[in-house]
Amino acid sequence: MSNAILTNLVTALAGKSIKVVDLTQPLHPKTPILALPEEFASSPGFSIETISEYDDRGPAWYWNKFACGEHTGTHFDAPIHWVTGKDHENNATDTIPVERFIGPAYVIDIVAEVEKDEDFLLTPAYIENWEKTHGKIAKDSWVLVRSGWSKRKDPKEFLNAREDGSHSPGFHPDAPTFLAEQRDVLGIGVETVGTDAGQAHTLDPMFPCHALMHGANKFGLASLTNLDQLPPTGAVVIAPPLKIVRGSGSPLRVLALVPSA
């Protein structure tokens, strides 16, 4: 069988005509964690402890142990994460077919809208209008929402919590169904701490992106960064989570392959 495509790919990577863009946030004890309303159990943050560092505990080696919730930092949401997705086949981090972790990226820019309204919700009408310029979103693709939120480096500003909960952009309740059923995407990715808006606990259904995307056996990517380095179309995203048995998600490294200008 011909391997010209892969030969061309490695040549393009070596020659930098295809760039690799890291869409991942650093993972450390100060990585911001989602704050849910008080009545719900919360996820611990990331913690790390040295096992040995070229010392008495191990003279020639350095290694750490770490702990965190599955949904910490830049992370993957599997369909099993939500009750609506619990009965799909192959719905967990260890059973999702690996082909479904790789797909073309469609990057929808809502930066200007979020500057005016931090609770901005992306609607199907907004997406269809975007498609008039950039073309129709193809089946089995990643839809990434560039909100500019990753520019908020202070965790306080990133979580943007007030008395009534967090305020950050997300999806209108009609958008997940549109993307899942009309466009048949792999999933969606966002710059915020979770795939739903900060005020999504007040929407109907509650947390519509989780409820409807996972109900349709689709994935989520949260806490992405560097989306401003991607073209609206033409990049390829690679986003495989850890193979946690029956995992609901995991921190991961998300890479984009981008043609150079």
State yes or no: residue 218 binds Mn ion (CB under 5 A): no
The secondary structure of residue 175, as a DSSP letter, is H
Q: Are 207 and 37 in contact (CB under 8 A)?
A: no
Query: Rounded to the nearest whole angstrom, what is the least distance from the CB of residue 82 to ligand 23J in the complex?
Result: 8
In the chain the beta strands, taken as DSSP E runs, fall at 18-22, 47-55, 58-67, 75-77, 102-109, 121-122, 142-146, 161-162, 165-166, 170-171, 187-190, 219-222, 235-238, 249-251, 255-259
* The one among 21, 23, 31, 77 contacting ligand 23J by CB under 6 A: 77
Q: How far apart are CA 65 and CA 53, in angstroms?
A: 12
Partner interacting with residue 258 (select from ligand 23J, Mn ion, none; CB below 5-8 Å by kind): none
State yes or no: residue 196 binds Mn ion (CB under 5 A): no
Active-site residue, 81 included? yes
Q: How far apart are CA 214 and CA 218, in angstroms?
A: 5
Q: How far apart are CA 103 and CA 140, in angstroms?
A: 6
Binding to ligand 23J in span 31-60, by CB under 6 A:
34, 36
State yes or no: residue 71 binds Mn ion (CB under 5 A): yes
Q: Which of 81, 88, 172, 210 is catalytic?
A: 81
State yes or no: residue 222 binds ligand 23J (CB under 6 A): yes
Site string for Mn ion, 21-40 (x = CB under 5 A): --------------------
Among the listed ranges 22-30, 68-76, 129-137, 230-238, the one in contact with Mn ion (CB under 5 A) is 68-76
Which residue of the chain is nearest ligand 23J when measured via CB? 194
Which residues lie below 8 Å from residue 168, measured CB to CB, with a gap of 6+? 118, 119, 147, 149, 159, 160, 192, 193, 197, 198
Footprint of Mn ion (CB under 5 A): 71, 77
Give the binding site for ligand 23J (CB under 6 A).
34, 36, 71, 77, 81, 194, 196, 207, 210, 222
Which residues are tagged catalytic?
81
